[in-house]
Structure 1
């Protein structure tokens, strides 16, 4: 009989999403995940299968909890999304990982639908990019 899990999967996934958003996929090692998340390596592999498995879980969690609930606000001119993991995934992983590309493309299509105009999506992404260096200074 295996050991009982001693961590909350949702909390670990949310913390991993934050770490991947700040440092991108290749900037986070398994050792970083073990240290920062407080999860044993065997537990990480047992639950998520791999670093990529945790990354995909983190990206899906981010989309479901941080992106989709706020799509309607995207049309507000003062809205700057806090969708760092989604946007980092779009530029960092989507070119090399078809599953990430599908997730990113799908949510961008939902964003286009929510705004009613792909140019609104582009403007929103531009606001995020302009705000990003300011946010980095605040960290």
Structure 2
């Protein structure tokens, strides 16, 4: 009979979201995970199978805890400025890092990222009543603004230019 788990799996996954969202997959070692999560190496492997297994659980948690609420908020957005403000201010670090770092080399991560971004596109399209192509362009623009860092100023300027188009 095995010993009971000495850590809270849910808390460990939430902590992993923060760690992977701040430093990306390749920037986090198993030693980092063990130290930050307070989990013994053997327990980490027994519970999550591998670093990648924990990463996938963390990515899915991030999508549920951070992307899903964004989609819900976008349903209430009534103009381009509100949409851009919501997307540029959302906690999307892990999604963006996954898209850049892991999706090109991991089909399972690519599928999760693609599904999440398509959901954002649909939510923007529904909120603004625009075509799928324009919704995808707005998602790309908002995420680009987010990556560049000047979210508030750039998003407002872009919204003023785009509102006549939507």
Q: Judge same fold: TM > 0.5, yes or no.
A: yes
Partner of 1:5: 5
- Spell out structure 1 runs of 4+ moving beyond 3 A: 72-75
Mapped to 2, the partners of 1:121 and 1:73 lie a distance apart of 14
Decide whether aligned partners of structure 1 residues 73 and 130 sit closer, same or farther in structure 2, where only a CA change above 3 A counts. farther
Mapped to 1, the partners of 2:100 and 2:42 lie a distance apart of 30
1:86 aligns with 2:95: yes
5+ long unaligned stretches in structure 2: 126-134, 151-166
Mapped to 2, the partners of 1:67 and 1:54 lie a distance apart of 19
Partner of 1:120: 138
Mapped to 2, the partners of 1:7 and 1:72 lie a distance apart of 32
Q: Does the 8 Å CA contact 1:25/1:93 hold for their aligned counterparts?
A: yes
Partner of 1:96: 105
Instruction: Give the deviation of 1:46 after TM superposition.
Output: 0.7
Instruction: Give the deviation of 1:3 after TM superposition.
Output: 1.0
Q: Does the 8 Å CA contact 1:72/1:115 hold for their aligned counterparts?
A: no
Aligned length: 133
1:60 aligns with 2:57: no
Q: What value does the CA root-mean-square deviation take over the aligned residues?
A: 1.6
Instruction: Give the deviation of 1:8 after TM superposition.
Output: 1.1
Instruction: Give the deviation of 1:127 after TM superposition.
Output: 2.4
Mapped to 1, the partners of 2:111 and 2:85 lie a distance apart of 28
Q: TM-score, normalised by structure 1?
A: 0.90
**Larger gyration radius, structure 1 or structure 2:** 2
Mapped to 1, the partners of 2:141 and 2:110 lie a distance apart of 21
Partner of 1:136: none
Moved more, 55-64 or 71-80: 71-80
Cα displacement string for residues 37-81 of structure 1 (whole angstroms, at most 9, x for unaligned residues): 100011101110000000000000000111111124355232222
Partner of 2:51: 51
